[in-house]
């Protein structure tokens, strides 16, 4: 069924159902907003391992699209889902992972970790968590050349680090996150723009009041930043006068989810951002082949042009995921027009 309105809302399915601080686990309802979840988990002495740059999503939406933060030892949010329950396309309530008494590496659990909502409607998720902790955020303005020279040291010494490159100035904002007292000596030269300590769920996310368009690709980790160097060269040669926003580089640990864009490889991400009031199509279309040349996989929740024929070449378990999806939803009731095209199911 297609609709221009809301078909199913999980807004009232919100909150922590139960938590086990000894095991570092919690069962959470799928409509829980990330912006509320951190404070709820803190009541049990728990915290998510990492968060993305914004926290406007629900936990189910963030998991379903492989939302991520940054850190070479920190996986995307989906990698922390070790179990849960979902209602399939046939109406069956199906537990998976630890909720089914299975290992989190069983096929259904790995398929559910990143599923774009196509396996069913999640009614609960079980996350593997960390002890509640604070983080020390420092944001530095420096020149991009310093970042290119020190990127390998940065990502291996900080718990989390990413950087924005500003095409018109050639400056970069380096953002580091470390547990207080564990900060390394390596810090960028330049102006310290932000220096705060607080609970991880308050310190990691940023406010994003301006609307923007975004394309992000996940590439095999290369601390020499060859892909970024090519993006920078192309932007400076062709797009600098039209690009009003920045380019963001992050890292993600490898994971095991069937169609995660960090599956089986340490990953770096490059995101192009453009103010929504400015043209972006030519910019994104010109840079996407660069990402593909470097074996990039597109972020499921952001703009890209790939369809099933290209995508199946990027994921070793693409066919396994599709077979499991058809088994759980034989009539395709969780597919919309976009997903049919994405998965090559236009005739369903």
pTM, rounded to two decimals: 0.95
Q: Are 271 and 332 in a shared domain?
A: no
From first to last of its 348 residues, the chain has per-residue pLDDT tens of 566 777 788 888 899 999 999 999 999 999 999 999 999 999 999 999 999 998 899 999 999 999 999 999 999 999 999 999 999 999 999 999 999 999 999 999 999 999 999 999 999 999 999 999 999 999 999 999 999 999 999 999 999 999 999 999 999 999 999 999 999 999 899 999 999 999 999 999 987 777 899 999 999 999 999 999 999 999 999 999 888 789 999 999 999 999 999 999 999 999 999 988 889 999 999 999 999 999 999 999 999 999 999 999 999 999 999 999 999 999 999 999 999 999 999 876
Where is the domain boundary, 131, 148, 171? 131
* Residues in a beta bridge with 97: 83
Q: Are 100 and 157 in a shared domain?
A: no
Region of residue 232 (phi > 0: left; psi between -120 and 50: alpha; otherwise: beta)? alpha
Torsion of CA 13, 16, 19, 23, to 10 degrees: 80
pLDDT tens digits for range 31-65 = 999 999 999 999 999 999 999 998 899 999 999 99
Q: CA 226, 228, 233: angle at the middle one, nearest 5?
A: 95
Domain membership flag for residue 4: no
Where is the domain boundary, 131, 164, 191? 131
Domain membership flag for residue 7: no
Q: Are 292 and 178 in a shared domain?
A: yes
Q: Are 143 and 278 in a shared domain?
A: yes
Nearest to residue 54, comparing CAs of 267, 272, 276, 211? 211
Tell me how far CA of residue 279 lies from CA of 16, 49, 237, in angstroms.
Answer: 42, 36, 17
Where is the domain boundary, 99, 131, 163? 131
Domain membership flag for residue 238: yes
Q: Residue 262: which CATH number?
A: 3.40.462.10
CA dist 247 and 172 (Å) reads 9
Domain membership flag for residue 188: yes
Q: Are 148 and 285 in a shared domain?
A: yes
Enclosing domain of residue 180: 134-298
């Amino acid at each position: 069924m297609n609709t221009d309105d809301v078909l199913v809302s999980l807004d009232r399915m919100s909150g922590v159902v139960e938590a086990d601080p000894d095991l570092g686990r919690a069962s959470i309802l799928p409509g829980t907003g990330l912006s509320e979840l951190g404070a709820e988990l803190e009541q049990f002495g728990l915290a998510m391992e990492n968060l993305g740059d914004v926290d406007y999503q629900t936990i189910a939406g963030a998991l379903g699209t492989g939302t991520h933060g940054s850190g070479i030892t920190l996986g995307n949010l989906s990698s922390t889902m070790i179990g849960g329950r979902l209602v399939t396309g046939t109406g069956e309530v199906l537990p998976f992972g630890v909720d089914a008494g299975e290992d989190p590496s069983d096929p259904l659990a790995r398929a559910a970790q990143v599923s774009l909502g196509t396996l069913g409607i999640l009614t609960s998720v079980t996350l593997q968590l960390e002890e509640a902790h604070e983080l020390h955020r420092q944001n530095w303005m420096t020149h991009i050349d310093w970042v290119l020279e020190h990127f390998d040291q940065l990502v291996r010494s900080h718990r989390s680090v990413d950087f924005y490159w500003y095409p018109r100035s050639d400056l970069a904002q380096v953002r580091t996150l470390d547990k207080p007292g564990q900060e390394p000596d390596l810090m960028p030269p330049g102006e310290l723009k932000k220096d705060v300590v607080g609970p991880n769920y308050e310190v990691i996310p940023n406010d994003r009041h301006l609307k923007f368009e975004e394309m992000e690709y996940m590439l095999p980790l290369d601390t020499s930043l060859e892909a970024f160097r090519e993006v920078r060269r192309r932007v400076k040669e062709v797009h600098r006068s039209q690009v009003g926003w920045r380019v963001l580089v992050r890292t993600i640990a490898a994971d095991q989810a069937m169609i995660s864009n960090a599956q089986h490889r340490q990953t770096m991400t490059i995101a192009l951002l453009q103010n929504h009031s400015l043209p972006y199509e030519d910019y994104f279309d010109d840079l996407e082949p660069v990402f593909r040349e470097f074996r990039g996989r597109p972020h499921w929740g952001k703009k890209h042009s790939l369809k099933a024929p290209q995508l199946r070449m990027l994921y070793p378990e693409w066919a396994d995921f599709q077979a499991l999806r058809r088994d759980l939803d034989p009539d395709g009731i969780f597919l919309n027009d976009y997903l049919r095209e994405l998965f090559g199911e236009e005739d369903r």
